[in-house]
Chain A
């Protein structure tokens, strides 16, 4: 077996993408680039879905889409498989490993034993790399961990066949063949990634997504105290903060990560205007952190007045203005 190089990243799917593609010779790839090419930045207040009775919000595009899109713009062929049978799912994984192939796996975290109990919820869109097997133990590279780890055969089956929303069904994926990637292709991948992200944040005709989604949540926050009482409303805010900051967003709900991407894009495309836009996303990220701080005041029970909820909403409205301006300017820049 070749020496396996573990790469730690902020977000699990970025990490799997970067690691698997680097193994296929994409040395240039790093987390911000993969995130940007995959148009990872997003906002959605998911309608008709409640988590513990509270809001379900995502600051990134759909699970799986970053890997997919990044591979697509780099002309990489992707192999994916889901399974009904646990036995066949195991055989397939073992087969890949026997052929010295590292693969990405979608897993649920509730039975992921190397996570501390505090983080083990029934969340099924976590990603990790399986890179080898020793007797009854699978060797695992989980991008959010500082080092590699492992799972027993039984544990592996449990996490691959976790149940509930977004059940992984043994989902395995990996880049099958990578063509010739030259500088021109990298540049075009960056540009495609940016354009698609502009579209996703500005032009999806729905109230709950993109910039409009941010304002949509703000509007709801103003009503919560009245609707469900301060205690529960505080819990809802805590839920937003966890979705925004908890393991894997790189801080500020992925906004800093996107700013880092634009910084790299500016260098690769020799375009100084992008640095200015990067600054705006840094500002947006800082505002998201401010908003989390304000929300924390509420769920800690330190401040509980209506005006305190209004202030959270005000910050979010301000964020919407900043991000809208940034994306509008990004749209206007001629990239080549």
Chain B
């Protein structure tokens, strides 16, 4: 890539940083240049976020329809997967899978629910009653 071809597109890097890229100068030698972003990348990031939002919405509808427990929703909202939740809560993956079931969720002790509430950064009440904005 030549220095003058280094893209300076609008991106989420704005007000954050410009990133170092390795580019060729006019003499044909490498030097560094700072890029504000590249449209190809920022669209990829946007699409990834659209997908996250789509999945979160889907999980929300599942909870409202009584198919899944609120835990499923908050896992999506916080971009987590089972290994992340397991790490933060100390529960085993199979336990978390069970806790996603409405039937099991309803019987969980406040002590266990509080652990989830802390990890998801919501109140115990909001977790239990699925109060989301």
Residues on A close to B: CB < 8 A? 8-10, 31-32, 52, 110, 114-116, 118-119, 121-122, 144-146, 163-165, 167, 234-235, 238-239, 241-242, 245-248, 250-252, 256-257, 259-260, 263, 282, 285-286, 289, 292-293, 295-296, 299-300
Chain A residues positioned under 8 Å from B108 (CB to CB) = none
* Known contacts A235-B48, A238-B44, A285-B1: A122-B81 contact under CB 8 Å: yes
Contact B18 A146 (CB under 8 A): yes
Q: Which residue in A263, A292, A300 is a CB contact (below 8 Å) of B29? A: A263
* B12 & A119 in contact (Cβ 8 Å cutoff): yes
Whole-angstrom distance between the alpha carbons of A196 and B40 in the complex?
Answer: 33
Closest to B87 in A: A163
**Known contacts A10-B22, A32-B30: A164-B83 contact under CB 8 Å:** yes
Q: Which among B22, B40, B87, B88 has the greatest number of chain A C-beta atoms within 10 A? A: B22
Q: Do A116 and B16 have beta carbons less than 8 Å apart?
A: yes
Q: Across the interface, which residues of A come within 8 angstroms of B34, CB to CB? A: 146
> In the complex, which residues of chain B have a beta carbon less than 8 angstroms from the beta carbon of A256?
1, 21-23, 30
Q: In the complex, which residue of chain B has the Cβ closest to the Cβ of A234? A: B47
A296 and B1 contact, CB distance less than 8 A? no
How many Å from the CB of B120 to the closest CB on chain A? 13
- Interface contact A8-B20, CB-CB below 8 Å: yes
Assembled-state Cα–Cα distance A8/B21 (Å):
11
Q: Are the CB atoms of B16 and A10 closer together than 8 Å?
A: no
Indicate if the CB atoms of A259 and B47 lie closer than 8 Å. no
Is the Cβ of A300 less than 8 Å from the Cβ of B43? yes
Q: Is B104 an interface residue (CB 8 A)?
A: no
Tell me, yes or no, whether B61 is within 8 Å of chain A by CB.
no
- For residue A242, which residues in chain B have a CB less than 8 angstroms away from its CB? 41, 44-45, 48
| Given A32-B22, A163-B84, A292-B40, A246:B45 Cβ within 8 A | yes
Is A144 a contact of B40 with CB atoms below 8 Å?
no
Number of residue pairs across A and B with beta carbons under 8 Å?
113
CA A88 to CA B19, docked complex, whole Å: 35
Q: Check A145–B47 contact: CB distance below 8 A.
A: no
A184, B75: Cα distance in complex, Å = 54
How many Å lie between the Cα of A119 and that of B52 in the bound state?
13
Q: A116-B16, A235-B51 are in contact. Are A122 and B80 (CB under 8 A)?
A: yes
Task: Pick the contact of B48: A110, A115, A122, A239 (CB < 8 A).
Answer: A239
- Chain B residues within an 8 Å CB radius of A121: 79
Find chain B residues with CB under 8 A from A234 CB: 47
Contact A247 B47 (CB under 8 A): no
A52–B45 alpha-carbon span in the complex (Å): 13
* A251 B23 Cβ-Cβ under 8 A: yes
Q: Is the CB of A247 within 8 A of B19?
A: yes
Closest chain A residue to B18, Cβ basis? A146
User: Shortest beta-carbon distance, B51 to chain A, in Å?
Assistant: 6
Q: Report A230 CB to chain B, min CB distance, Å.
A: 13
State the CA gap A308–B15 with chains docked (Å): 35
B20 and A122 contacting across the interface, CB-CB below 8 Å: no
Q: Beyond A163-B87, A292-B40, is A118–B21 a contact (Cβ under 8 Å)?
A: no
